[in-house]
């Protein structure tokens, strides 16, 4: 299990230093790199919201157990599953942050050695796309699990509601009153119990959108690296190499003079 890094990504000194270097040198990849950092920061906040909502689920479960709510078994299983999902996302996000920070350290060291041209292909310093794709897959699974949980809670609540309606009508029939078709609290039980699960699903969906945007940022960085134009230094180096090749291919001066003398 990856050790969780709770410090915000934007507060890391290596991240801050690399951003300053890119801003000072007006690096062409700066926009997409800063977007990636901001997206990781957004994931941190979304995960924190998911953790808080999990605490609400636990309170809902505790209350359901006290009241012997018919949905308590479904709630218990779902809360356990949701806790495992949140912990998995926490570990994946910690791994993502660690890779980004290490990539920043590597990029800074290379910049100090080779100059700003080293950051033209900044994507090579960050091996984060596989992690982001794993997070997207995990979030898709979490959303499906939430949908199942909500459906199960609603089914149990509806069954409980119908049973209550049947008992009530039996009592009314015994005293000669007309039966009723619906209880006053129809749907409210399911809505109240499933609310935190719906909120958690909304958080997961939002986080998935952020992960997708981060994958887009990484992809753009990779594409820019593939089509980048050579730097001024590289152009001069290539020009010098060309001049040296041309010199090497020229006839020696002595040979030229000898040929002219023979004529």
Looking at the predicted structure, is the pLDDT value of residue 25 above 70? Answer: yes
Question: Which has the higher per-residue pLDDT, 171 or 91?
Answer: 91
* Per-residue pLDDT, 32: 93
Structural domain span for residue 221: 9-147+194-229
* Per-residue pLDDT, 164: 45
Transcribe 77-137 into DSSP letters: HHHHHHHHHHHHHHHHHHHHHHHHHHHHHHHHHHHHHH-GGGGTTGGGG---HHHHHHHHH
* Per-residue pLDDT, 170: 46
- 39 part of a folded domain: yes
Same domain flag for 215 and 93:
yes
Same domain flag for 102 and 220:
yes
- 26 part of a folded domain: yes
Report the CATH number that the domain containing residue 49 is assigned in CATH: 1.20.1260
| 7 — pLDDT class (breaks 50, 70, 90) | confident
* Per-residue pLDDT, 108: 95
Residues 6+ positions from 238 with CB-CB distance below 8 Å:
230
- Cβ 43 vs Cβ 211: under 8 Å: yes
Same domain flag for 202 and 251:
no
Maximum Cα interatomic distance, the chain, rounded to a whole number of Å: 137
Q: What sign results for the dihedral spanned by CA atoms 56, 57, 59, 63?
A: positive
Tell me the pLDDT tens digit for each residue of 132-190.
999 999 999 989 988 887 887 777 666 554 444 344 444 434 444 444 444 443 456 56
Residues 6+ positions from 169 with CB-CB distance below 8 Å:
179, 180
Please give the structure tokens belonging to residue 41.
Answer: 């920061």
Tell me the pLDDT tens digit for each residue of 182-222.
444 345 656 666 777 788 889 999 999 999 999 999 999 98
Query: With pLDDT > 70 as the criterion, what percentage of the chain qualifies?
Result: 67
User: E-strand spans in the chain?
Assistant: none
* Per-residue pLDDT, 18: 95
Block residue for tokens 């570990």: 91
- 25 part of a folded domain: yes
Number of domains the chain contains: 2
Q: Is 49 helix (H, G, I), strand (E, B) or coil?
A: helix
Residues 6+ positions from 71 with CB-CB distance below 8 Å:
64, 153, 156, 157, 160, 189, 190, 193
* Per-residue pLDDT, 173: 42
């Amino acid at each position: 299990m990856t050790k969780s890094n709770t410090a915000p990504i934007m507060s890391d000194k290596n991240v801050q230093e690399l951003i300053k270097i890119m801003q000072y040198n007006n690096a062409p990849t700066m926009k997409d790199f800063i977007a990636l950092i901001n997206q990781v920061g957004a994931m941190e906040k979304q995960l924190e919201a998911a953790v808080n909502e999990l605490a609400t689920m636990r309170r809902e479960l505790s209350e359901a157990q006290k009241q012997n709510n018919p949905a308590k078994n479904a709630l218990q299983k779902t809360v356990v599953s949701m806790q495992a999902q949140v912990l998995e996302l926490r570990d994946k996000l910690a791994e993502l942050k660690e890779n980004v920070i290490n990539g920043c350290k590597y990029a800074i060291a290379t910049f100090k050695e080779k100059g700003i041209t080293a950051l033209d292909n900044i994507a090579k310093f960050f091996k984060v796309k596989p992690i982001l794709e794993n997070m997207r897959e995990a979030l898709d699974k979490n959303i499906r699990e939430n949908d199942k949980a909500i459906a199960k809670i609603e089914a149990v609540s509806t069954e409980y509601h119908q049973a209550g309606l049947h008992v009530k009508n039996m009592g009314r029939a015994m005293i000669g009153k007309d039966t009723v078709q619906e209880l006053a609290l129809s749907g409210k039980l399911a809505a109240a119990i499933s609310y935190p699960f719906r909120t958690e699903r909304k958080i997961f969906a939002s986080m998935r959108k952020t992960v997708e945007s981060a994958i887009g940022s990484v992809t753009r960085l990779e594409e820019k690296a593939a089509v980048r134009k050579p730097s001024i230094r590289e152009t001069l180096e290539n020009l010098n190499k060309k001049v040296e090749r041309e010199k090497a291919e020229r006839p020696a001066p002595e040979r030229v003079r000898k040929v002219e003398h023979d004529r």
